[in-house]
Structure formats: C-alpha cells, structure tokens
A = this chain, B = another copy of it.
Amino acid sequence: MPRVPDSAVRRLSLYVRCLEGIDTAATSTISSRDLATAAGTTAAQVRKDLSRFGSFGKRGLGYPVDPLLERLRTILGLNAEWPVMVVGAGRIGSALHAYPYFRERGFRIVAVLDDDPVKVGSEWNGTTVEHVDQMEAIICDRGVKLLVLAVPAPAASGVALRAARAGIRGILNFAPARLEVPDEVVVNDVNLALEMEALAFALSR
C-alpha cells in the first residue's frame, strides 16, 4: 500500500466532518466541488485524495454520501472502538476527556494515570486515577493501543518507552520533548506553545 501523506489524512478527517453535516434525506450525493468548498480545499484535491483508495464516485453525479462516509470511516479506523490511556492527570487530559468530539469518534478513555499520590485514587471526571506503576499491567489487561501523554517534559520519554514496550502503538504527545521510542510506534506531537509562536512569527513580519 503506497504511503499516504499526512496532509491527506487530515483532509480525509475533514471530509468526514463535512459529510456528517449533510442531511442525506435531502441530498444523497455530493460533487467534489461542493465537498471541497465545505472542507476549504479544491475539487481536484478532493478527487485525488479519494481516488487514492479506489473509485467510488459516479461520473456525472458525484459521490454517494452515505457509502462515502462509511468508506472514509473504515479507512481512518473510526469504526473501531479505541481504548485510550491518559498519563498525566492534569488539565490537558481533562480537556480531552471533556471534549465531545473525542468520544464521538470512538476514543474511549479507559484509564488515567499519575505519579502524584495526592491525585492517585481521586475521582477525575468519573474515572479513578491510578498509579503510573500500574501502567504496563493496565495496557495489557485493557488492550490499550493509544496513549495520550501529558506529563512534564523530563518524564515524557521514559514513560513513552515503557508504554511502547508494554504494547502501546500510538502516542499523542503534549510534552515538549522528543520521544525515543521504537520505530513501529507512531508519535504525533502537539506543541501548543509552538503553535502560538507560529502566530507570533507571522505577525512579526
């Protein structure tokens, strides 16, 4: 299977959101042009992105909305339920937990871990905080493949490596640190300070 550029994956997610907003009773089909307008891209881009995974549009008509949605969800892995572990019972994890779009997409937070004895055992948005020492056992027991890492930068790489060895396959990393993990583990860095700096840069010119 040829590699899919990261930018294309993000657009596919956007297409899902746009398609979800369509009343399929009224319109059962959508053209690349209309989908492009909704998603903020070009018609050619939409067609290229979709054709990468086969051709399910109808020439002269457009793409049938429901089958396309179903197909995109399958491609993106959104039909499966994803148990998610959060390490770092702070505000970022809390924000994600409260984020409605998170659960909607099948991401289910099944464990929240911290190393602070004050936090361990406390209720955290309906979940009991467990100690980070339990990490490996919980990953195995609950079949967790995805990790949200929201610990201070110095601790990040150590936790990530332990998690990877215990079976974690993907990490959403909020710590401003480079994670040293095996190649087969996918890391997605989210650095909020950096996003802000990109704005500051743009305004400084």
Q: Which A residues form the contact surface with B (CB < 8 A)? A: 1, 4, 6, 9-10, 12-14, 17, 40, 75-78, 80, 82, 84, 90-92, 94-96, 98-99, 101-102, 104-107, 145-146, 169-172, 176, 178, 186, 188, 190-205
In contact, A188 and B195 (Cβ under 8 angstroms): yes
Rounded to whole angstroms, the CA-CA distance of A192 and B13 in the bound complex is 12
**Which residues of the other chain, B, contact A200 by a CB distance below 8 angstroms?**
76-78, 80, 82, 105-107, 146, 170
**Which residues of the other chain, B, contact A106 by a CB distance below 8 angstroms?**
200
Rounded to whole angstroms, the CA-CA distance of A92 and B48 in the bound complex is 35
Given A90-B98, A203-B169, A178:B40 Cβ within 8 A: yes
User: Looking at the complex, which one of B40, B176, B203 makes contact with A170 (CB distance below 8 Å)?
Assistant: B203
Given A95-B92, A198-B9, A203:B186 Cβ within 8 A: yes
- Supply 14 A–B pairs (Cβ within 8 Å), ascending by A: A17-B176, A40-B178, A77-B200, A90-B98, A94-B95, A99-B192, A102-B193, A104-B193, A105-B193, A105-B196, A107-B200, A145-B203, A146-B200, A169-B203
In contact, A172 and B190 (Cβ under 8 angstroms): no
**Which residues of the other chain, B, contact A198 by a CB distance below 8 angstroms?**
6, 9-10, 13, 188
In contact, A197 and B13 (Cβ under 8 angstroms): yes
**Which residues of the other chain, B, contact A197 by a CB distance below 8 angstroms?**
9, 13, 76-78, 105
In contact, B199 and A13 (Cβ under 8 angstroms): no
Nearest CB in chain B: distance from A147 CB, A: 9
- 3 smallest beta-carbon distances between A and B, as pairs: A77-B204, A91-B95, A170-B199
Name which residue of chain B comes closest to A186, CB basis.
B202
**Which residues of the other chain, B, contact A14 by a CB distance below 8 angstroms?**
194
